[in-house]
Amino acid sequence: MTRTGLVHQALRYGSDDEFLAGTAEHARAGLDDGDTVLAVVSAHNISLLAGALGDRSGEVEFVDVRDWYDYPSRTLGRYHAYCDRLGPDRHARVIGEPVWTGRSDFETHEWLRYESLLNVVFAGTGHRILCPYDTRTLPDAVVRGAARTHPELAGESGTLYADPADFCAECDEHRPAALSAGPQDIRFARGRSAAVRRALTAYARGLGLPEQRTHDLVAAVHETVVNSVRHGGGQGVVRLHSDPDYVICEIRDDGSHASAPRPRLPGHLPPRPHAASGHGMWLVRQLSDLVADDLDPAGSVVRLYFRHRHPVSPLREG
């Protein structure tokens, strides 16, 4: 069968029965259609769903949320890689329940942004994604957010769906403040990125970041600096800050004031190997934990966040 649209539904449930009523039906319908079915839910919900599916549970791929929903960009990367492996003729039926507990206001809104971006990033793919939201435990803001980030609500009528561009702009309001100038600021200019890499390596090592994360940080900031040099007027400054949760690197430029159109979804779509551009920003998002980017011809500010300790291993293949 041929499907071209994306179906992205939220399932707001208040009991195990409601969870099963929505998800088991989604899984069975997928198996009946010949789709590949992936359920990324909590351990508790894995056992519920597997029990309800009985013999057919062996046909469903179950993944624990902790191995999947660590950082929004990497989760997006996993879904891209997963769907890519299916090839052009098979569709995915996904039950995906992001982790919302223990998230800061900033992190929560980056995950809400992620839910909204799914509508754009997977538009026209024919995949079907069902996102369960547990109304018993989740904050109201998250449950309300589900209605604005999903074009359809399973088992509910009406929708408050918001255009992703508008919704993302709202999420921007919840980003932490920009870094202020400080003695550790690193100026950069065309052809001088090596000095930035030296200073970053020393800074990251001084904070005790593991060797691999130091490489990731240096590579991500370098690519952002290269972008600033190329598109942002040739020079700028890197500001550094470390708080209890994150090492933060902010890359600012004065802009090229060119009238070139802003890139659409910069770094949210995996670039093709043969593409002449697009790999840098994709890499920045995949190597960083969170990215707050404001790409503007009148001067861009990009903040990259690297968590001090990883709750789960980064970049685990999906």
Partner 1 sequence: MTVVPALRTVGQMRQGDHLLLGYDTDEERDTVLAAFLLDGLASGQRGLVLPPADIPAGVALSFLEAHGCRVDEEIATGRLCVDPQLAVPEGLWDLDEAIRREARRAVGDGFLGLRVCTEVLRAQAGKGLKTLHDSELLLDPVFASLPVLGICQYDRRVFDEAELVPIAGLHHGRVGADAVWRDELLAITRTFAPPGLALAGEVDESNVTAVARALHTETARARARTAGGAHIRLDLRELHFIDVGALRLLVFTALGLYASGGTLVLTGVAAHVQRVMRVAGWDRVPGLRFEPSGEPP
Tokens 């319908």, residue located: 29
Among 3, 144, 197, 308, which residue sits at the site for partner 1 (rule: CB under 8 A)? 197
> Could you say which of 55, 87, 180, 272 contacts partner 1 (CB under 8 A)?
272
Distance (Å, whole) CA 286 – CA 206: 23
Looking at 57, 116, 228, 286, which residue binds partner 1 (CB under 8 A)? Answer: 286
Closest approach of partner 1 to the CB of residue 251, in Å: 15
Taking CB under 8 A as the rule, does residue 270 contact partner 1? yes
Helices (H) and strands (E) in the chain, counts: 9, 11
* Binds partner 1 (CB under 8 A): choice among 58, 273, 309, 313: 273
Footprint of partner 1 on 121-140 (CB under 8 A): none
Give the list of residues 6+ apart from residue 49 with CB closer than 8 angstroms, or none.
Answer: 19, 20, 23, 24, 27, 39, 41, 57, 60, 62, 95
CB of 194 to partner 1, least distance (A): 6
Write the DSSP symbol of residue 175: S
Q: Taking CB under 8 A as the rule, does residue 189 contact partner 1?
A: no
Q: How far apart are CA 266 and CA 279, in angstroms?
A: 10
How far is Cα 147 from Cα 201, in angstroms, rounded to an integer? Answer: 43
Q: Does residue 215 belong to the site contacting partner 1 (CB under 8 A)?
A: yes
Take residue 36 and report the two structure tokens written for it.
């590949």
Place of tokens 């624990």: 64
Q: Give the number of C-alpha atoms closer than 13 A to the C-alpha of residue 56, restricted to the C-beta side.
A: 16
Tell me if 204 contacts partner 1 by CB under 8 A.
Answer: no
Residue with tokens 């998800």: 23
> Of 3 and 80, which has the nearer Cβ to partner 1?
80
By the rule CB under 8 A, 276 interacts with partner 1:
yes
Q: Is 206 in the site for partner 1 (CB under 8 A)?
A: no
In the set 192, 205, 257, 316, which binds partner 1 (CB under 8 A)?
192
Q: CA 136 to CA 101: how far, in whole Å?
A: 12
Residue nearer to partner 1 on the CB measure, 19 or 188: 188
Q: Which is nearer to partner 1, 181 or 276 (CB)?
A: 276
- Closest by Cα among 94, 31, 92 to 68: 94
Give the single-character DSSP code of 299: -
Shortest reach from residue 121's CB to partner 1, in Å: 16
By CB under 8 A, residue 229 contacts partner 1: yes
Among 283, 291, 302, 304, which residue interacts with partner 1 (rule: CB under 8 A)?
A: 283
What is the rounded CA–CA span in Å between residue 8 and residue 124? 11
Among the candidate windows 126-134, 151-159, 272-280, 295-303, which touches partner 1 by CB under 8 A?
Answer: 272-280
By the 10 Å C-beta count (0-12 exposed, 13-18 middle, 19+ buried), 146 is classed as buried
- Picking from 245, 242, 232, 240, the residue whose alpha carbon sits closest to that of residue 300 is 232
Contact call for residue 260 and partner 1 (CB under 8 A): no
Shortest Cβ 283–partner 1 spacing (Å): 6
User: Is residue 191 at the binding interface for partner 1, with CB under 8 A as the rule?
Assistant: yes
Interacting residues toward partner 1 by CB under 8 A = 77, 191-194, 197, 212, 215-216, 218-219, 222-223, 226, 229, 270-274, 276, 279-280, 282-283, 286-287, 315
